[in-house]
Structure 1
Amino acid sequence: MARAGSAVPEEPAPPRRRRKQHSRRQEVLDTAARMFFERGYEATTTQDIGAALGLLKGSVYYYISSKQDLLFELIQQYHEDTRSYFAEILESDGSAVDKLRELITVDTAHTARNLERSTLFYLEWRSLPLERQAVIIEERAQHEHAVQKWIVEAQAAGRIRPEVDPKIASFAIFGMVNSVYRWFTPGGRKSAEEIGEDFADLVLGGLLVPGA
């Protein structure tokens, strides 16, 4: 028994209740992603999100701290996916050209398969404060530096043309990959994976030494 005046530790929620809370919170995130995608971040309020879920405005704050936190968490979820496949590519035994091809293919497909979150990532991230923008910029920089490193390695191996500027090439590659969210249509003529493969073929066709 706790002594008078001492704090009584709060009992942890039962596993079933925790799962229900987690599921409901993910529903809030998914609804916010859809509404930010359809209406834009600035035009969507927490009250709008709550209404779409059948919640009172005050009830939404049981699951989130602020609209800004919602946006940041959605972008972070998108990042978590990219971190997993990026790490696998970095650690693979493939050549620099193989890694470059894999990253272009997978990055393009991931952008196309996750249109709501990729649109938020590329369009709405500037709505975040500078310290949170810095997290996103650092993530992007890691991908750019890896591509530049692989191009330099492939040039040293005689596979990519020596006159190619690695930094400019990396900007061109990600400009291409990052454009997919603007025009990709699910169920269209080509799948996300096929477009990723096409992009990789186009990029490497312009970079590789003929016959290398």
Structure 2
Amino acid sequence: MTEHAEPATPGATTSNRTRKRRSARREQVLETAARMFFEKGYAATTTEDIGAELGLLKGSIYYYISAKEDLLFEIVERYHEDTRSYFERILASDESPLDKLRELITTETAHTATNLTRSSLFYTEWRSLSAERQQAIIAERARHEHAVLDWIREAQRAGTVRSDLDPKIATYAIFGMVNSAYRWFRPDGPRSAEEIGVEFCELVLGGLETR
């Protein structure tokens, strides 16, 4: 005998629809908050401003959030999650140190430039977060820096990167270049985010590699 799934009860269906609507509305709150923090600055934007932009009644925004800082932290944390996805893949690969460096520079530059609103908040507004939340961001950045530092040192031992270079200075220079893209990149400019990532990579490796 064929078993049939029990039909969903009207109450359960209504509850699911309510959760979906609430989830969709919360995404709108996050997107609007990110845009307004980017345009006006985090300190100058209030939760009332965000609610008004969305057409919510005064105080209704707290149905979706607990505090303004929670919005900023979630925006920054989502950006972190995106970077983790490609960073972990590169970190675990069997490629050479230089190839890992090449992929990280290309990918991270393109990601920074493609996600201008979130990358700008990530690099400029993170100090507005509580000390505990700042530490989570600092720790993740340190992982990226340590990986690049290790790759450069490994490549120096293998003889593929110049031995006269200071690995720490090279690491700071790489991230200074990559992380600057949010300041000046324009989607309607002559180069795509991916093309800029490739060019950055060529500039960096051209200075690092032995001849």
Please report the TM-score for the alignment, with normalisation by the length of structure 2.
0.92
Q: How does 1:9-158 map to 2 (within 5 A)?
A: 14-158=15-159
8 Å Cα contact 1:100-1:147 kept in structure 2 = yes
Superposition RMSD in Å: 1.3
Amino acid at match of 1:163: D
Distance 1:169 1:147 in 2: 9
8 Å Cα contact 1:46-1:57 kept in structure 2 = no
**Secondary structure, aligned partner of 1:57:** coil
Q: Which runs of 5+ in 2 are unaligned?
A: 1-11
Identity of aligned residues (%): 67
8 Å Cα contact 1:47-1:56 kept in structure 2 = no
Amino acid at match of 1:15: N
Q: 1:16: Cα distance to partner?
A: 2.8
Alpha-carbon distance change, 192 to 47 in structure 1, aligned in 2, over 3 angstroms: same
Q: Which runs of 5+ in 1 are unaligned?
A: 1-10
8 Å Cα contact 1:151-1:166 kept in structure 2 = yes
Distance 2:69 2:114 in 1: 24
Alpha-carbon distance change, 84 to 13 in structure 1, aligned in 2, over 3 angstroms: farther
Amino acid at match of 1:126: R
**Secondary structure, aligned partner of 1:176:** helix
- Please, which moves more after superposition, 131-140 or 11-20? 11-20
- Please, which moves more after superposition, 106-115 or 17-26? 17-26
Distance 1:130 1:102 in 2: 32
Extract structure 1 runs of 4+ deviating beyond 2 A: 11-17
Distance 2:58 2:23 in 1: 19
Amino acid at match of 1:138: A
Alpha-carbon distance change, 21 to 163 in structure 1, aligned in 2, over 3 angstroms: same
Distance 2:18 2:112 in 1: 34
Q: 1:167: Cα distance to partner?
A: 1.1
Q: 1:97: Cα distance to partner?
A: 0.3
- Please, which moves more after superposition, 160-169 or 189-198? 160-169
Q: 1:12: Cα distance to partner?
A: 10
Distance 2:102 2:116 in 1: 22
Partner of 1:182: 183
Residues 172-201 of structure 1, C-alpha deviations (whole Å, 9 max, x = no match):
100111111100001210000000000010
Partner of 2:7: none
Q: 1:13: Cα distance to partner?
A: 7.2
8 Å Cα contact 1:125-1:133 kept in structure 2 = yes
Partner of 2:4: none
**Secondary structure, aligned partner of 2:59:** helix
Length, aligned pairs only: 200
Distance 2:168 2:199 in 1: 22
Distance 2:35 2:23 in 1: 18
